[in-house]
Amino acid sequence: LRLLGLVPMEGKVWPAGKTLLLAMRMALEEINERQDVLPGYHLELVWGDTQCDPGHGLNALYELLYTDPPKVMVIGGGCSIVCQPCSEGSTQWNLTTVSYGCMSPSLSNRERFPQFFRTVQPEVTQNPARIELMRLFDWDRVAIIQQSYEYHTAQIEDLIERLSRSNTTIITYEIFQTDASIQIENMKKHDVRIIVTASYEDEMGETICKAYAEGLYGPGVQWIFANWFDEFWWQNSPHCSPKEFLQVIDGAIYTGMSYENPILEKSIGGIDSEDFKRIFNQRSNYSDWTGKDFGPAAYDSIWAAALALNRTIDKMENHGFNKTLDEFTYSDKDINDLIIESMYEVEFVGVRGYTRFDKTGNPQGLITIRQQQGAVSRPPSFNSMSPVIGSNLRMVGGRPPRAGSTLILSQVRLSPALYATTSILASLGIVVAVFLLLFNTWFRRRKVIKMSSPNINNLILLGCTLCYLTILFESSDIEVERYFCVLRQFSFVAGFALTFGALFSKTWRVHIVMIASTKTAKPKIIKDPQLAFGVLVLVLVDVSIMIAWLVVDPVQAVLRNGTEQVSANDNDIIFKYQSIECKSEFQTHFSAALLALQSLLLIFGAFLAWETRRVKVEALNDSKYIGMCIYNVVVLAVIGVALQYVIKDAVNASYGFLSGLILLGTTLTQTIIFGPKV
C-alpha cells in the first residue's frame, strides 16, 4: 500500500522535509513490523517536494498521481497554503488527506474539505488561551498585526470575535503582505503595548527588526506569537543582529498546541515522547533540522492513516467487496468513503498525545504557553489539563506590561484658602458699599451730597455690590457651578451697567444743563427719575441679551481637559487635569455683543467727561473722576482678557487674578467717586 507524501523539503519558507520524513519512516517501520496492523500488507511512502508553495505542491501532487501504481491516501501538505489546493484537488481523485502540519482554521470547513484530517490542531484553538492571558494580566487593549493570507485571517477573525465578547478593545488592526514598515510605524504612533501577531516566520522576523528600529520593544511592550516558530528563529535574520532581535522578543509569549504528550505514556508504537526524541536524535545524528516540533505529529499522521486503512480492510470484507485494498483505483469512491468512515473511528495514543478526530477532522489536544527568556524559550507554563498561567513567566521589568497608558482624570479644585480670602475681601467691599449707601442716605440733604444726586449714587453703589457678588459665585462642584455660571454673568453685566450707566447719567445731565442749555434762554431740567429710567433701560438691554443667550444657547458647566503630567513613579500613569468651564456654542457671539455694548458705554462716558471738563462746580462735575474710572477699567479689562487666555488652565491663578481685578476695579471706582464726598 502506497501513501502519497507531500513534504516541504526545499524552499525558503519552511524546509522541514528531513524532520518530517524521518519521523514518518520511524512510524512506517513500526507499522510494518506489527502483525496486528495491516497484516499481509507493506506500507510505504512515496513523496514529492512542495517547497511550502501551492504551485510546487500541486505539481508534486499531480506528478505522483499520474505515476503508477495508485496511492491509497495523501499524507502531508506541511503548509496550509499547500494543503488547501492539494486537498481540494485530491478529493477529485477520491483520496483522503491526513496532514501533520496544516493548521489553518479554513481547513475545518467540511463543505470545502470533506476528506481532510490532521494530527495538529487548528490555530483557532489557541485563542481561548490568549483570552485567558489577557484576562489574567488585565490587558483590555491590544493591537493585532497580521500577514494577508487566508490562513492567518481565519485565525484572527476568531480572535477578534472572542476579544469582542471579553470587552477587549482592539487599538489598531494592521495587515501587511511582506513589508510591515508602515504598520509598525502606525502601531508605534498608537502607543500599543500588547501585540498579537499572525504571520509566517520569515516575514515576522523582518517585522521584528523593523520594530527594533522604531523602538517598539522593552518592558512596556508584550509580543505574542504562534508557538510553531523555530526555537532559534532569532539567530538568522538578515535584517538585524541576533542581539537586536532578542531585545525585541525578550519576554515574548508563544501560544499554540502541545507538540508532544506532556505525560510520559507509551504510544501505540510502544514509545513515549522522550523515547521518540532519543531515537530521532540518534538517527538524525543530533542535527539541528527545521521543524523538529512537528516530528510527533508527522509520526502520528502515519499511524492514523495505517489504523484507518486497517479498519477499511475489515469493512471491505464485511461489505463483500470483490477486490482488496491494494487494488484500489482513483475511481473507487466507495472504498474512499470507507476510509473516511474509518478515519472518524480511529482512536489511539500517539507521541503527540491522545488522538481522535472530531466531525471537522481535527484532533483533541492540549494548548501550551511558553516564553522567550533571553536566548532560551522556556517550557510550557499552561495547558488545558492544568490551567495555571504564570508559574514560569518572567516579565521584563519585573511586572506584566500594562495594556496602555493609564489615564487618571483629576479635577483641579479651587483652593479653599484663596476662595475664603477673596470672599472676605469682596464681603468687605460690600460692607463698604452698604456703609456708603447709608452715608449717602443719611446726609442726602447736605449740599455736597444733594448736588451729586444721591439717588443716582445709590444706583452706582448697587452696581458695585453686584460686581462684588460676582466673586462669591464660584464652586468646585459642577452641579452647583452650572447655576453659578449664569448668576456670575448676570451679576457682573448688570453691576457694570448699573455702575457706569448711573455714573455717566449724572454727567450727561451736567452736559445737558450746563452746556446745551447755554444755547437757550431757559435752562433744561432733568430729574433723578428720568436718569434712573435711562439707567434702567441700559440695564434691561444688557439683561435682554443675557436672557436671549440663556434661551437660545444655555451656558453649561463642563469639565475642560487641561495639561497632562506623567507620574514620577510610573511612566505608564498619566494624570490629566480637568477644570470646570462655563461654555456654550454661541458664547463668542453673545460675549462680543455684550462687550461691544459696554465699550460703547465707556466711549460715551469718555465723551461726556471730555465735554464737561470745564464745568467749575465740583459737586456737579465728576468728569475728572469719570476719566480716572474709565482709565482704570480699560487697563484692568485688557489685563484680564490677556490673563484669561494665558492662565485659563490654572484654576487658582485664573480665579485669583480675575477676582483681584474685579476687587481692584470696583474698589477704585467706589473710592474715586465717593472718597472726596466723604
State yes or no: pLDDT of 202 exceeds 70: yes
Of the listed ranges 22-36, 65-79, 470-484, 592-606, the least confidently predicted one is 592-606
552, pLDDT greater than 90 = no
* Residue with cell string 517547497: 51
Stated as kind and residue range, the H or E segment containing 485 is helix 478-510
* Residue 362 banded pLDDT, cuts 50, 70, 90: very high
Q: Which residue has the cell 501550551?
A: 368
Lowest mean pLDDT among 156-165, 478-487, 590-599: 590-599
* pLDDT at residue 614, as a whole number: 61
What distance in Å separates the CA atoms of residue 202 and residue 177, rounded to the nearest whole number?
12
Give the H/E segment covering residue 131: helix 127-136
d(CA 192, CA 553): 40
Q: Which residues of 213-226 are buried (b: 16+ CB within 10 A; e: fewer)?
A: eeebbebbbbbbbb
DSSP state of 124: G
Which whole number is the average pLDDT over 220-234? 91
What percent of the chain stands above pLDDT 70? 89
83 contacts 77 by C-beta, under 8 angstroms: yes
Mean pLDDT (whole number) for 404-431:
86
Among 96-100, 428-432, 556-560, 562-566, which is the least confidently predicted range? Answer: 562-566
Q: In the chain, what percentage of residues exceed pLDDT 90?
A: 47
Helix ranges (H only) for 198-251 are 201-214, 242-249
Report how far residue 342's alpha carbon sits from residue 340's, in angstroms, rounded to the nearest whole number: 5
**Looking at residue 51, what is its pLDDT?**
95
The three-class DSSP label of residue 612 is: coil
Polymer length in residues for the chain: 678
Average pLDDT over residues 168-192: 94
Instruction: Say whether 196 sits in a helix, a strand or coil.
Output: strand
pLDDT-wise least confident of 33-37, 236-240, 586-590:
586-590
Average pLDDT rounded to a whole number, residues 237-261: 92
Q: Please say whether the beta carbons of 142 and 194 come within 8 A.
A: yes
For 675, phi then psi, to 5°, come to: -55, -50
- Report pLDDT for 657: 83
What integer pLDDT is reported at residue 512 of this predicted model?
67
66-80 average pLDDT score? 94
Alpha-carbon gap, residue 452 to 50, rounded angstroms: 109
Q: Do residues 123 and 226 touch, judged by C-beta distance below 8 A?
A: yes
Q: Under CATH, which number does the domain 414-555+584-674 receive?
A: 1.20.1070.10
C-alpha closest to that of 672 among 633, 629, 635: 629
Cross-strand pairs, 574: 407, 566
Q: Identify the band that residue 387 occupies on the pLDDT scale cut at 50, 70 and 90.
A: very low
CATH code linked to domain 124-259+370-405: 3.40.50.2300
Residue 63 has pLDDT above 80, yes or no: yes
* Least confident among 34-38, 232-236, 325-329, 618-622: 618-622
Output 178 or 61, whichever has higher pLDDT.
Answer: 61
Contacts 24+ apart (CB under 8 A), 176-181: 176/145, 176/146, 176/147, 176/148, 176/203, 176/207, 177/147, 177/148, 178/203, 178/206, 179/206, 180/145, 180/206, 180/207, 180/210, 181/210
409-440: burial string, b at 16+ Cβ within 10 Å, e else: eeebebeeebbeebeebbeebbebbeebbebb
Mean pLDDT, to the nearest integer, of 414-427? 90
pLDDT for the residue numbered 389: 47
pLDDT for the residue numbered 37? 96
More confident residue, 416 or 609: 416
Lowest mean pLDDT among 590-594, 627-631, 650-654: 627-631
Average pLDDT, stretch 358-365? 92
Tell me which range, 11-25, 372-386, 653-667, is most confidently predicted by mean pLDDT: 11-25
Q: Which helix (DSSP H) or strand (DSSP E) does residue 298 occupy?
A: helix 295-318
The pLDDT tens digits of the residues spanning 258-276 come to: 888 888 899 999 999 999 9
Name the pLDDT band for 64 (thresholds 50, 70, 90).
Answer: very high
Residues 187-208: what's their mean pLDDT?
94
Of the candidates 362, 389, 415, the one whose C-alpha atom is nearest the C-alpha of residue 118 is 362
**What's the alpha-carbon Rg for the chain, to the nearest Å?**
44
* pLDDT over threshold 90, residue 206: yes
- Name 57's Cβ contacts closer than 8 Å, sequence gap at least 6: 6, 50, 51, 77, 79, 82, 85, 86
Q: For 6-26, how does the pLDDT look when each residue is reduced to its tens digit (9 = 90+)?
A: 999 998 888 999 999 999 999
Mean pLDDT over each residue of the chain, to the nearest integer: 86
Closest to 36 (Cα-Cα) out of 278, 298, 306: 306
Q: What average pLDDT does the segment 515-541 reach?
A: 69
Helix (H, G, I), strand (E, B) or coil at 4: strand
Where in the chain do CATH 1.20.1070.10 domains reside?
414-555+584-674
Selected from 3.40.50.10860, 3.40.228.10, 3.40.50.2300, 3.50.4.10, the CATH number assigned to the domain covering 2-121+266-362 reads 3.40.50.2300
388: pLDDT confidence band, cut at 50, 70 and 90? very low
* Run of H or E including 189: helix 181-189
Say which range, 86-90, 479-483, 517-521, has the weakest mean pLDDT.
517-521
Q: What is the side-by-side strand order in the sheet with 253-257?
A: 169-176, 141-147, 194-198, 222-226, 253-257, 367-373, 376-377
Q: Which residues contact 267 (CB under 8 A, 6 or more apart)?
A: 261, 276, 300, 303, 348, 349, 350, 351
Most confident of 140-149, 254-263, 391-400: 140-149
- State the average pLDDT over residues 273-284: 95
Kindly state the helix (H) or strand (E) to which residue 170 belongs, with its residue range.
strand 169-176
Q: What is the mean pLDDT of residues 437-453?
A: 71
Whether the pLDDT of residue 76 is over 60: the answer is: yes
Choose among 164, 128, 160, 133: nearest CA to 144: 160
Q: Is the pLDDT of residue 551 over 80?
A: yes
- The predicted pLDDT at position 392 comes to 67
Contacts of 2 (CB under 8 A, 6+ apart): 44, 45, 46, 69, 70, 71, 72
Start and end residues for every CATH 3.40.50.2300 domain found in the chain: 2-121+266-362, 124-259+370-405
Q: What pLDDT is stored for residue 247 in this prediction?
A: 95
Q: What is the pLDDT of residues 287-339, one digit of tens each?
A: 989 899 999 999 999 999 999 999 999 999 999 999 999 999 999 999 999 99
